[in-house]
Amino acid sequence: MSLDPNIAGFLAALRSAGAPAGFAGTPGERRERMRAAIEDHWDPAAFAPVGGVEEVRVGHLPLLLVRPAGRTGPVPTVLYFHPGGFTMGSAHLMRDVAHRLAHDLNACVVSVDYRLAPEHPFPAAVEDAERALRWAAEFVDDLGGDARRIGLAGESSGANLAAVTAIAARDAGIPVAGQLLASPVTDFTACYPSEARNGEGLFLTRADLAVIRRGYLADDDARAADPRASPALAADLAGVAPAVVGVAGFDPLCDDGIVYAAELLRAGVPTALRVYPGLIHPFFGMPGLAPAADAAVAELTAEFAALLVAPGAEDRS
């Protein structure tokens, strides 16, 4: 297994530029670097075409609604949780992904601007995710969506929140048709082999993961073992929504996704696991990084779309 040459070139360019590690510095410094890396180089005119964008607020929680173009009837509703290690990122910064999902899935996307650590540590983000789900389920008709076709999607920390919210949805009796988990972190108590194997020089590092854990969980072992933080530790995963799990071979979190997919399958949950050997974290939210990454995103999105329209989805309860 070798690193994709396009990604190898990307990493080499970062090293040559002397770019600081993604999670170095204060939370404010990290957030500004992420903003600059994305916003200073994006072209909103190149975003996938959509039918409309609206900002709403549910109590303290901001949501970005992205509706598909050409809608003629109810469409799937997808809650999207952005990446950023629970400490940075926003719905605004990840607008391109929300546009892409709305376009490719023909879905109304609800991008959740959950509270960030360390100012708002666990379980604040989980509470926001569950609040967004309850709101979407209640007002799905007003969104032009279909209450029988709600999906959950996220990358990295956002995939963690999607997985946790899928469990909460099952427990609350809220139907969810499918979940898309790209590069998920699923167990804060474990140190899988991929963390050691891919922990240096591949964009996301072991040191970054330690910063994330401190910021989100305040280095609290009890919080780390809480299934709302580590969904792989849930006592029972039976009955959660079918899943599509995508992981990168050169990601320190690769084994997190593989182990969680195995746990879902063991619980009888229909689950598709896709391993992309030459890719890094976070491939899903970096379009154009490499043709192999674009192909992986297209495959995962298509499989997720199939869950949202699959025969029998209207009967899930």
Instruction: Annotate 133-155 with b (16+ C-beta within 10 A) or e (fewer).
Output: bebbbeebeebbbbbbbbbbbbb
In terms of DSSP bridges, do strands 61-67 and 145-155 run parallel, antiparallel, or are they unpaired?
Answer: unpaired
Interacting residues of 151 by C-beta distance below 8 A, sequence separation 6+: 76, 77, 78, 79, 105, 107, 176, 177, 178, 179, 180, 241, 304, 307, 308
Helix axes 124-139, 157-172, angle to 10 degrees: 60
Q: 251 an active-site residue?
A: yes
Asked if residue 76 has a cis previous peptide bond (ω within 30° of 0), the answer is no
Q: CA-to-CA distance for 185 and 159, rounded, in angstroms?
A: 7
Compute CA 213 distance to the chain's CA centroid, rounded to the nearest angstrom. Answer: 17
Are 156 and 253 contacting, i.e. CB atoms less than 8 angstroms apart?
Answer: yes
Catalytic residue (choose from 82, 99, 103, 281): 281
- Beta-carbon contacts of residue 221 (< 8 Å; ≥ 6 apart): 189
Burial class (CB in 10 A: 0-12, 13-18, 19+), 60: exposed
Would you call 317 a catalytic residue per the annotation?
A: no
Q: Is 281 a catalytic residue?
A: yes
CA-wise closest residue to 209 among 286, 156, 287, 170: 156
Catalytic residue selected from 4, 226, 251, 255:
251
Catalytic residue among 96, 103, 113, 156: 156
DSSP 50-83: -SEEEEEEETTEEEEEEEPTT--S-EEEEEEE--
Q: Which amino acid appears at position 192 of this protein?
A: Y
- Whether residue 157 contacts residue 212, with contact meaning beta carbons closer than 8 Å, is answered with yes
Query: Where is 276: in which H helix or E strand?
Result: strand 271-276
Active site residues: 156, 251, 281
